[in-house]
């Protein structure tokens, strides 16, 4: 489920930041997370339409 994917990516992002991973790695995870969040909201909007 998309909620679980979001939670996992948030965890991965937080760990990457805490472990001071390279910026490009953190950025990539952040973009993936943003895309999933957008997908989640689009699904929610479609359910209400």
Write out the two tokens for 47.
Answer: 């359910």
The H-or-E segment that residue 12 falls in is: helix 2-18
What pLDDT shows up at residue 8?
A: 98
Q: Do residues 33 and 5 touch, judged by C-beta distance below 8 A?
A: no
pLDDT digits (tens), the chain, 49 positions: 899 999 999 999 999 999 999 999 999 999 999 999 999 999 999 999 8
pLDDT of 18 reads 98
**What pLDDT was estimated at residue 49?**
82
Q: Could you please report the per-residue DSSP string of 15-41?
A: HHHHTT--HHHHHHHHHHHHHHHHHHH
pLDDT at 33: 98
Give this prediction's pTM: 0.88
d(CA 24, CA 13): 12
């Amino acid at each position: 489920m998309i909620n679980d994917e979001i939670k996992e990516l948030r965890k991965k992002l937080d760990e990457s930041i805490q472990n001071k991973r390279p910026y490009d790695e953190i950025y990539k995870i952040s973009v993936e997370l943003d895309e999933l969040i957008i997908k989640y909201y689009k699904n929610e909007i479609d359910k209400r339409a």
